[in-house]
Amino acid sequence: MAALIAENFRFLSLFFKSKDVMIFNGLVALGTVGSEELFSVVAFHCPCSPARNYIYGLAAIGVPALVLFLIGVIWNNHTWNLVAECHKRGTKNFSAAATFLLFGSIMGRASVAPITWSVISLLRGEAYICALSEFVKPSSLDKFPAEYGAEVLAKIPCRDVPANLTKFRDEVTRRLRYESQLFGWLLIGIVAVLIFLTKCLKHCCSPLSYRQEAYWAQYRSNEDKLFRRTAEVHSRILAAKNVKQFFGFVALDKEEKELVQEFPVEGVQPSPQWNAITGVYIYRENKGFPLYSRLHKWAKGVEGNGPTPEGHELLFLAS
C-alpha cells in the first residue's frame, strides 16, 4: 500500500513538473473552472434592475476574462523576452512572419484562461440571463400581460416576479440559457478548429522535422532547468563570498560549505554576455548546424539574430 501511495505521489510530482504545453494549458483551464465556480457561488448577484443587469452581466463575464488575459501575458516568458529584445536590439532582425508568430504565441497562451472563463460562464448561463432578461420582447411570449414590461423582466433572474408570471419566468430563463449554452458550445468549436489549424500550419511551415522539434523542446527545457539551478548556486556562492569579505566570515550550513568548496566563483558575467543570451530567439542554422537558443548561439560565438542566406528562420514557440 505504501509503495502504491509513493508511486502515485511520484507520478503527480512528475505531472506537475512537466513543461508540456498541453498539460500546462490543461492545468490553467482547470484552475479557471474552479475559480469561475467559486465566483458564481460567492460573488455573483444579479442586481435585477433595468440598465444595470446588462452592465453587470457583461462585466461578470468580461472583466475576469480580461484580468486573466493580462495575467497570462505577464506570466509568459515570451513577453519579457520581447521587451528585452526591443529594448536592447529593436525589432530589425524580425521578419513579418516571425513577429506575427511571436504575438500569436503570446496571445494564444494568454487566452487559455479567459476563454475557459467565458465558456464556463456561458454554459452556466447565469450571467447571460442576468444581462439579457430585460431585452426579451414581451410580444414573443404567448399571452404575456400587457401591463408588464422591461422592469419586471429584469427581475426574472432573482425570481422576484408576480405569481401570475411564474410560467413566463421559466420560459424566459429556459430560452436565455439555451442561447447562452449555444454560444458557449460554438465558442468551444471555434477555438478547437483554430487550435487544429494553427498546429497544422506550424508543422507545415516549420523547416524542422517532428523529431528535431521534439529534441529542440527538450533542449530548451533542460537548458532552462540547468541555467536556473546553476544561477541559484552561483548567486549563493557569490553572495557568500561578498558577505565574508564584509564581515570576515560567513555562516554557512554543511551543504553551502560543500558548494563553496566545489564551485569556486571568481567573478560575475559582464552585462554584454547577459544581453547576448536574453531576448527573443529566432531559430538559426550556422553552416548547416542548428543553434537551439541564444545561449547555444553565444557559446558557439555566432553573432546576430537575423536570417542568413544558408540558414532558416523559425520563431521559437516552445516554453
pLDDT in tens, 90-114: 656 666 666 777 788 888 888 988 9
Task: Provide the pLDDT for residue 195.
Answer: 87
Q: Which residues of the chain have pLDDT under 70?
A: 1-42, 87-98, 146-147, 303-319
Task: Provide the pLDDT for residue 315.
Answer: 45
> Which cell goes with 174?
429556459
Task: Provide the pLDDT for residue 251.
Answer: 92
Task: Provide the pLDDT for residue 39.
Answer: 58
Supply the angle between the helices 210-247 and 254-262 in degrees, to the nearest 10.
110
Task: Provide the pLDDT for residue 193.
Answer: 95
Tell me the whole-structure pTM to 2 decimals: 0.69
